[in-house]
Structure 1
Amino acid sequence: MAEKEISKELFQPAKIDSSKSEEINKPSLNYWQDAWLRVKKNKAAVVSMIVIVLLALLAFIGPAVSGYDSARQKATHSNLPPRIQGLENVSWLPFDGTRTLNNGEEVNVYEQKQIKEYYWLGTDNLGRDQFTRIWKGTQISLYIAFLAAFIDMVIGVAYGAISGYFGGRIDNVMQRIIEVLMGIPNLVVVILMILILKPGIISITVALTITGWVGMARVVRAQVLKLKNQEFVLASRTLGASHSKIIFKHLIPNLVGVIIINTMFTIPNAIFFEAFLSFIGLGLQDPLASLGTLIDEGFKSMRAFPYQMIYPAIVISVIMVAFNMIADGLRDALDPKMRD
């Protein structure tokens, strides 16, 4: 075989431009910008955020759009199936105002009762518009959810940070109080509040205020115990910073990721807690409605009028799944252990 000549240029040292050795190709990002880029990569979290925004808008706009009062009763319009103008002639959609009887016969209830109005999601056994009541119930469920998040972020964060920072006897006393509260089931607290107050939104609010923040306090305390002996805290203490400044300006800002993640997981739990209470009759009372009370009312007549339970169940399921997806996305974005 003929030998190939190797040029001397291949043995020359590479020319390296030292001016480009320190060049930064990507833009500099702060913590929150980097976290937002990670959240945007999670398509489920982004879609869930859009869904929650749309549901929140519908919760406040829906009752005004329907044109019906959520408490208005009309016995002649009771148990009407859904009917939407423009879709009533589409046979394969469940919005044509027909209902299947026990013998298998389909009847148009609106024509039978000579009703000209349109009820988009039907009516309940008292003739109240389901569409309006579902969105009114969504308002209550979202109120409970964000109330629980607010309590977590105010009481739970402050309590846990103070307990973990000071330690010693103060920590022992505060943790014994938490253990007592954790030993009391939420249901027992709600029943006690109902005995003192009346069944309704106030008793649920008080019950959440008493016990809802305990989990957050324990998480924040554990994180503060890890951070309080690190160099930046010791430096701040050496420079004469007060305890409150160290807690609220140095420790808590470093726990924002953990706080947000736990808060987002608290929200669906609070929604389910309220729905459970309403379902067993310890929640809101008529004429107020929540998604839990609507599911409870629909469950009683599920075989005859399944739409009365299906639609509120779909709404509460979407809300809980969306909040859990957002929490998963934020955990992946804000938790340093989850970074690539």
Structure 2
Amino acid sequence: MAQEKITKDMFTPAQIDANKSEEISKPSLNYWQDAWLRVRKNKGAIVSLVVLVLLTIMALVGPHINDHGYDDQNLKHNNLPPRIPVLENVSWLPFDGDLERRNGDVYNAYEQKNVDEYYWLGTDSLGRDLFTRVWKGTQVSLYIAVLAAVIDMVIGVIYGAISGFVGGRTDNILQRITEILVGIPNLVVVILMIIVLDPGILSITIALTITGWVGMARVVRAQVMKLKQQEYVLAARTLGLANGKIIWKHLLPNLAGVIIINTMFTIPNAIFFEAFLSFIGLGLQPPLASLGTLIDDGFKVLQLYPYQMIIPAVVISLIMICFNMIADGLRDALDPKMRD
């Protein structure tokens, strides 16, 4: 087959508009807008953010949805399984109020105790509503973790920025202090706090804060030592800008991504540590509730009433997974090396 001959008539010159030669087709984005677009591409981070927002809303609103207080006791209604209106008629869902005896017999605990109320997540051994206690415990755990993370961030950023920017003998002294603190186990600090203070939110927060900021301080120090040699910092020094303003106006904005990422990873660690302390009996004391205390109470009756442990364990697992997924998404979005 003969090839078709290409002639000049087949080509049409492009119509070039000189007024649009330098027109920008896409809107310009700042650093945070570009980072948000990258986070939106991460489906895991977005789903985790939505789930975390819902859990936070329930932690704030959940304890007030029904008429049961988190410390209201009714021994006649103890160890009742979950029972939810409408869903109790669905046979394959575990919300019908049935329990199983050791010999395998199934019976309805509500009918046996002549209880007409509905406990959506059941009750514990003292007849306290687990729905209210789970969301109250989530509220307390999130409060302790976020408070400890914010304090760690503030202390760590200030400490690390001063150490890295000033350098010399000041840096050596400050780093020796951090090395001493790193060598002290957190559990020893917690025990000392409990000896000095009563077990509770204050002692746990102080214990988490005493050594928790060291990691943030080290990361900030390393970044500051790298950034303080940049041209814009040298220019600011040449123009006579004070050291405090250089740190505040030039260094901290460039450290914002690192600070946010480390803070997001600190929160789930603090939640787990608080739950661990409550599980071994060094955390909150009754009648206060946290996810750790609820898991500890449920673990004692796991074989008879597994829902008392499974429900708070699922909530704390969701919180930790969501925070870690969001932190991973922020790390990929805020790290310049991850640009696609």
TM-score range, shorter chain: over 0.9
TM superposition shift of 1:145:
1.7
User: Whole-Å Cα distance in 2 between the matches of residues 83 and 216 of structure 1?
Assistant: 45
Partner of 2:114: 114
TM superposition shift of 1:153:
2.1
> 1:216-295 to 2 correspondence within 5 Å?
216-295=216-295
> 1:290-329 to 2 correspondence within 5 Å?
290-329=290-329
SS at match of 1:107: strand
TM superposition shift of 1:180:
0.5
Call closer, same or farther: CA 1:3–1:90 in 2, change over 3 Å.
closer
User: Whole-Å Cα distance in 1 between the matches of residues 166 and 3 of structure 2?
Assistant: 80
Partner of 2:197: 197
- Report percent identity of matched pairs: 73
Partner of 1:96: 96
Partner of 2:169: 169
Call closer, same or farther: CA 1:112–1:185 in 2, change over 3 Å.
same
Alignment deviations for residues 116-142 of structure 1 (CA, whole Å, 9 cap, x no partner): 111111111111110110001001110
User: Whole-Å Cα distance in 2 between the matches of residues 213 and 232 of structure 1?
Assistant: 28
SS at match of 1:66: coil
> 1:49-68 to 2 correspondence within 5 Å?
49-68=49-68
Letter in 2 for 1:320: M
Letter in 2 for 1:203: S
Letter in 1 for 2:145: A
SS at match of 2:199: coil
TM-score (norm 1): 0.96
Mean alpha-carbon deviation: is it higher for 7-16 or for 214-223? 7-16
Call closer, same or farther: CA 1:5–1:153 in 2, change over 3 Å.
same
TM superposition shift of 1:174:
0.5
User: Whole-Å Cα distance in 1 between the matches of residues 141 and 225 of structure 2?
Assistant: 35
TM superposition shift of 1:16:
5.5
SS at match of 2:89: coil
User: Whole-Å Cα distance in 2 between the matches of residues 314 and 6 of structure 1?
Assistant: 70
User: Whole-Å Cα distance in 2 between the matches of residues 3 and 151 of structure 1?
Assistant: 76
TM superposition shift of 1:87:
1.6
User: Whole-Å Cα distance in 1 between the matches of residues 136 and 3 of structure 2?
Assistant: 87
User: Whole-Å Cα distance in 1 between the matches of residues 232 and 2 of structure 2?
Assistant: 70
Letter in 1 for 2:103: N
Structure 2, unaligned stretches of length 5 or more? none
Partner of 1:130: 130
Alignment deviations for residues 255-279 of structure 1 (CA, whole Å, 9 cap, x no partner): 0011111110111000000001111
TM superposition shift of 1:14:
6.9
User: Whole-Å Cα distance in 2 between the matches of residues 12 and 317 of structure 1?
Assistant: 64
> 1:149-168 to 2 correspondence within 5 Å?
149-168=149-168
TM superposition shift of 1:105:
1.0
SS at match of 2:87: coil
Letter in 2 for 1:257: G
User: Whole-Å Cα distance in 2 between the matches of residues 11 and 136 of structure 1?
Assistant: 74
SS at match of 1:85: coil
TM superposition shift of 1:152:
2.5
SS at match of 1:88: helix
TM superposition shift of 1:144:
1.6
User: Whole-Å Cα distance in 2 between the matches of residues 287 and 296 of structure 1?
Assistant: 14
Call closer, same or farther: CA 1:250–1:119 in 2, change over 3 Å.
same
TM-score (norm 2): 0.96
TM superposition shift of 1:7:
2.0
User: Whole-Å Cα distance in 2 between the matches of residues 304 and 8 of structure 1?
Assistant: 88
User: Whole-Å Cα distance in 2 between the matches of residues 117 and 25 of structure 1?
Assistant: 63
Alignment deviations for residues 5-50 of structure 1 (CA, whole Å, 9 cap, x no partner): 4424469987755544423211111111111111111111111111
